[in-house]
Amino acid sequence: MQDDSLDLTPSQLSAMAVLLNSGDLLMGELAAQEKVKPPSMTRIVNSLEAGGYVARRPDPRDHRQCLVALTDTGREVLLANRRRRDQWLAVRLAELDPADREILRHAIRVLDKVNRA
């Protein structure tokens, strides 16, 4: 079985992850969370929609706007991609000696600070 996520760009996978974690979002909200301009997000969503990974539906509060939702296919592909990456990382971490793993444990705190900034 082929991994469908291999045909997706990092930007597409990231947008899908935001939808998985945040739920359905307006296009502008998704663009803001991804820190891209709305036209860029429109291109990303158009390609994801063409692949069946996301769907648009009218916003019940404002029918001029649409909500972007992850489809079941998109959710399955995203979660399969995460499992594949997690397995790869687990193997690489197991290959390290205990001292290197300890260094990484300490680095996680620093990386969390950078990520929150």
For the segment 34-58, what is each residue's pLDDT rounded down to a tens digit? 999 999 999 999 999 999 999 999 9
Instruction: Give the pLDDT confidence score for residue 64 in this predicted structure.
Output: 87
pTM of the model: 0.80
The string of pLDDT tens digits covering residues 57-104 is 998 898 888 999 999 999 999 999 999 999 999 999 999 999 999 999
pLDDT above 70: residue 3: no
Domains located in the chain, CATH noted: 4-116 (1.10.10.10)
- Rounded CA separation 10/4 (Å): 13
